[in-house]
Amino acid sequence: MTSHQNTQTMKPATAAKKLGVYLEATPADFREGVVSRAELNELQANPPQWLQELRRNGPHPRPVVAAKLGVSIAGLARAGVTEPLTTEQIEALKQEGPGWLERERTTQAEVRKEAERIKKKNAERQP
């Protein structure tokens, strides 16, 4: 009996999400094809110039923007930031320090603190 191993593929949107890049900024051949698991692993291990450039300068997808600003994705939405931002725009926001950014960072810190408290409390319950 021989087993056939199917090549696992994913949509470009899924691959872009796993790579942490904004899909619309990727090359057309990436957006229009499918990506195999092996291709994704190769992109992660040896990123081509376009991928390095996107990761360095953006535009970045919301999860990356939120992480770089130290806020949640919901916090970005509350502030009206719905478009992808470049690294330069993110740095400018950090320099400006708008009120919403400070509020969202404080909220995010409180959420993390509460999650840690719950984790500790649950760990104490375990035998």
The pLDDT tens digits for 70-127 are: 898 998 898 888 889 999 999 999 898 888 989 998 998 998 899 899 988 888 887 6
Percent of the chain with pLDDT over 70: 94
Q: Judge contact between 69 and 90, C-beta under 8 A.
A: yes
Tokens standing for residue 10: 């994913």
Q: What is the CA radius of gyration of the chain?
A: 19
CA distance 127 to 112: 25
User: Mean pLDDT of all residues in the chain?
Assistant: 87
Q: 59 falls in which pLDDT band (50, 70, 90)?
A: very high
